[in-house]
Amino acid sequence: FSIEATPEQVDLFQGKIDFAVRHCPKPDDRFEAIELYPEYFLPVCAPSFAERYGLGPDTRDLSRVPLAYLGMARSDPGFLDWPGWSDATGVSIDQGEGRQRFSGYGSNIRFAQAGLCLALGNPVHMFPLIDSGALIAPLGPETILRARWSYWLVRVRAAAISPVQIAFRDWLVAQ
Residue 33: per-residue pLDDT: 97
Residue 69: per-residue pLDDT: 77
For residue range 48-63, list pLDDT tens digits in order.
999 999 999 999 999 8
Helix, strand, coil shares of the chain, percent, nearest 5, are 30, 25, 45
Contact 70, 58 (CB under 8 A): no
Helices (H) and strands (E) in the chain, counts: 5, 6
The average confidence (pLDDT) of the chain is: 87
- CB burial of residue 66 (10 Å; 0-12, 13-18, 19+): middle
For residue range 117-171, list pLDDT tens digits in order.
999 888 888 899 999 999 999 999 889 998 888 889 999 999 999 999 999 999 9
Contact 166, 32 (CB under 8 A): no
Q: What's the rounded mean pLDDT across residues 84-94?
A: 89
CA 55 to chain CA centroid, Å, is 22
For residue range 6-29, list pLDDT tens digits in order.
777 888 998 888 999 988 899 999
Q: What is the pTM of this model?
A: 0.76
Q: What's the rounded mean pLDDT across residues 89-117?
A: 77
